[in-house]
Structure 1
């Protein structure tokens, strides 16, 4: 599910800092085409890359993945029964 949010969030965090895809790629030791594929959601960053990006951008991993709605979308404070109910509801 993270892939539905992370590309847009990487784009927004990068733009907020005035960086090009090449700038971010240099900072991450990646190719600009890799950054582009993350931002267009054609490729999902590895866990190590997500951690490194969150540190580089100075945001939590939740915020990198879910954006400003990280707390709203988080299930960390829900009971197991609530999470199961939410999963059932989301499957539709």
Structure 2
């Protein structure tokens, strides 16, 4: 039995259409169709992915003399994670809110010395009736408080918000039907906002010394 015939047999055994298999391997339906008529063969990483999805060995897929299905120890469901449309939506929403948390934490770190500088200047020129040492102490407390909050936000974001999605970086997974389309749609929708925010960030970075020169 050749590779193409094995793919057809395994696909039908699982009750999947060509589109179903294509979604799980993250390729087009046309690619699967070409595999099944021997017009092309998948890359090595796709062959490994197919073996995990079907729960068979790579030897069975690649060797024509291997006629009997050689199952791996793990079942297909336990060996590879399927990311559903609902999970993909939750992940994208988590990443969106996590980005704002990171932005706030970064802003707190950047702005933390402002109180120390401002109180020191006001005390020196007599705008506030406290000693320079007292102003420095208050400013330092505020600085440490802001940095502490920022660090807490970073840790919470990493250990709590992103914890359920660690498998995306460390474990093999496949996308269910429709997930890739959802991700591309979200990327396209966010592209204008990403460009605008990048431009604003660069402009603010360039203009940041103006306040120092003005002061």
Q: How big is the alpha-carbon RMSD for the aligned residues of Structure 1 and Structure 2?
A: 1.9
Which residue pairs with 2:8 in the alignment? 11
Residue number in structure 2 paired with 1:57: 54
Runs of 4+ that moved beyond 3 A: none
Query: Structure 1 regions of 5+ residues with no counterpart?
Result: 72-92
Distance 1:29 1:55 in 2: 14
Bigger Rg, structure 1 or 2: 2
Please give the TM-score of this superposition, normalised by the length of structure 1: 0.67
Match for residue 67 of structure 2? Answer: 68
CA contact (8 A) 2:8 2:36 kept: yes
Structure 2 segments unaligned to the other structure (5+ residues): 71-215
Structure 1: how far apart are the matches of 2:38 and 2:19?
17
CA offset at residue 69 of structure 1? 4.8
Q: Deviations over 1:34-68 (max 9, x none)?
A: 00000100001111110100011000001122352
TM-score, structure 2 as length reference: 0.30
Q: 1:60 to 1:40 in 2, by over 3 A?
A: same
| 1:25 and 2:25 aligned | no
Question: Tell me, what secondary structure is at the counterpart of 1:8?
Answer: helix
